[in-house]
Amino acid sequence: MVPPTIEVSAMLVEEVGMFEIMFKTVLFPIDASRESRQAVETVANLVKVHQSRLILLSVVESTAEQPDAMSSPDTVANLLESARSLFSDQGIEADAIEREGKPAFTICDVADEVEADLIIMGCRGLGLTTEGASDSVTNRVISLSPCPVLVVP
């Protein structure tokens, strides 16, 4: 089912007579989190409505202090291939990019390189505290991004 906001967006574009693609290129940074998996439906719906080019990005962050699953290039390659297959099953072709670096900076650099019109990210919901927004990858991407960022809770 297409979320109501996307349906309304498509209807407004048709009513105004503007058939121009609003988001030509959508960047979807992914990791192995539940939040990334939950954002897939939103990404698929938006890409279909706007007939966008979809680029999947996974960032390998190598830190000697805290090695985790996302620091393994093989794990990241498998994750990207699984995501491509998932979108392919929905009739969506996706390009995949794997980079090494700090996630927020790398996401914004790639968004600039591919001339992304939109970044869609999942969010763990840990960004708000009593003092305000905490430091998270999502918050840093929002601050640094060269294009709009859609955060899927």
Model confidence at 46: pLDDT above 80: yes
> What value does the mean pLDDT take over residues 6-15?
49
- CA–CA separation, 75 and 81 (whole Å): 10
Instruction: Determine the residue type at 86.
Output: L
* Cβ-proximal residues to 81 (8 Å cutoff; 6+ apart), any chain: 96
- What local confidence, expressed as pLDDT, does residue 16 receive? 47
First to last CA, the chain: 18
SS3 51: coil
pLDDT digits (tens, 9 = 90+) for 13-42: 455 445 455 899 999 999 888 888 899 999
Place 141 in a pLDDT band, splitting at 50, 70 and 90.
very high
User: Quick one: fold of 21-152?
Assistant: Rossmann fold (3.40.50)
Q: How far apart are CA 34 and CA 32, in angstroms?
A: 7
Q: What is the pLDDT of residue 12?
A: 46
Distance of CA 79 to the CA centre of its chain: 14
Whole-prediction pTM: 0.79
Q: In this structure, what are the phi and psi dihedrals at residue 64, rounded to the nearest 5 degrees?
A: -65, -30
pLDDT digits (tens, 9 = 90+) for 92-105: 999 999 999 999 99
Choice between 153 and 30, residue whose per-residue pLDDT is larger: 30
Helix (H) or strand (E) holding 58: strand 53-60
pLDDT score, position 64: 46
